[in-house]
Amino acid sequence: MNLAAAHPGFLSPTGVEIVFVLVGVVTLAAAVITVTTRKLVHAALWLVVALGGIAVEYLLLTAEFIAWVQVLIYVGSVVVLLLFGLMLTRAPIGDSPDADSGNRPVALAVALASAATLVTVVVDAFRTYWIDLDASVQGSTAVTGESLFRHWVLPFEALSVLLLAALVGAIVLSRKDGPRAAGPGPVRDPDATGPAAPAAPDQPDTDTGPGSGTDAEGRR
């Protein structure tokens, strides 16, 4: 408890803390809207706000490189991938009333219980600790790159192999005919007539939706 006296209290916040709390409120609100809205595309767009808010929090924590990586990868590519996924699975633009499943009260109870428990534990554990943001730069590109390529080279290269495996796996999974269909003609006829073909007559653009994109991807 005597450590608490050595640190500034919660009643006199610094400017960084005020900005952090404000951006945190915006981030949290965007996250809540993401998981509760009934418009699927709006959920993806609010996710952009939440992830961008987290990038600003990284900047406030002086982790500059992580912040730009967050903007590049999450806001730039993951959300675009999610939007493409929504588009290819024919998500409705307007309200979709069945966006939430039936176990919503249970989910709310679990989330509130975990939030209450974790907030209690975390506040009790860390309320007396203070992050010194002014001492030295912790997350500039030079510092992060030096530690990454001096101490973490082997995991970094393993990560590149993982990304390559994920790339190949995604291409293999999203090919339309699968690996056995190298021969001429539609090999998967008996299988494909069950799920995919009956949807074609009443929806003429079925084959131009998910089929064309994945077909082009498979031919690449």
Partner 1 sequence: MHLAYPAVLAVLLFSVGVYGVLARRNVILVLMSVELMLNAVNLNLVAFDVWLRDTLHTGQALTLFVIAVAAAEIGIGLAIVLMVYRDRGTSDVDRLRDLREDRAGAVTEAAVTGAAVAAGPGTASGGTPHPHTSEREQGNSAGRQTA
Residues between 71 and 110 with contacts to partner 1, criterion CB under 8 A: 73-74, 77-78, 81-82, 84-86, 88-91, 96, 98-104, 106-108, 110
β-strand partners of 95: 39
CA atoms within 13 A of residue 36's CA, in its CB half-sphere: 9
Least Å distance, CB 173 to partner 1, is: 4
Structural contact between residues 11 and 34, judged by C-beta atoms closer than 8 angstroms: no
Taking the CB of residue 170, how many other CB atoms lie within 10 A of it?
A: 12
Pick out residues in 192-211 that bind partner 1 (CB under 8 A): 194-196, 198-199, 203, 210-211
Q: Tell me: does residue 3 bind partner 1 (CB under 8 A).
A: no
Q: Which of 1, 6, 11, 123 binds partner 1 (CB under 8 A)?
A: 123
DSSP assignments along 20-85, one per residue:
HHHHHHHHHHHHHHHHH-SBHHHHHHHHHHHHHHHHHHHHHTT-HHHHHHIIIIIIIIIHHHHHHH
Structure letter (DSSP) for residue 95:
B
In angstroms, the Cα distances linking 172 to 26, 59, 128, 164, 165 are: 39, 38, 51, 12, 10
Q: Tell me: does residue 152 bind partner 1 (CB under 8 A).
A: yes
Q: Tell me: does residue 181 bind partner 1 (CB under 8 A).
A: no
Least Å distance, CB 132 to partner 1, is: 8
Nearest residue (CB) to partner 1, 1 versus 135: 135
Q: Which of 157, 162, 186, 212 binds partner 1 (CB under 8 A)?
A: 162
Structural contact between residues 93 and 41, judged by C-beta atoms closer than 8 angstroms: yes
Least Å distance, CB 184 to partner 1, is: 21
Least Å distance, CB 69 to partner 1, is: 6
Least Å distance, CB 183 to partner 1, is: 20
Q: Which of 42, 49, 66, 68 binds partner 1 (CB under 8 A)?
A: 66
Q: Tell me: does residue 16 bind partner 1 (CB under 8 A).
A: yes
Sequence-distant (6+) residues with CB within 8 A of 90 are 209, 210
Q: Tell me: does residue 26 bind partner 1 (CB under 8 A).
A: no
User: Could you give the CA distance from residue 214 to residue 7 in angstroms, rounded to a whole number?
Assistant: 57
Least Å distance, CB 5 to partner 1, is: 14
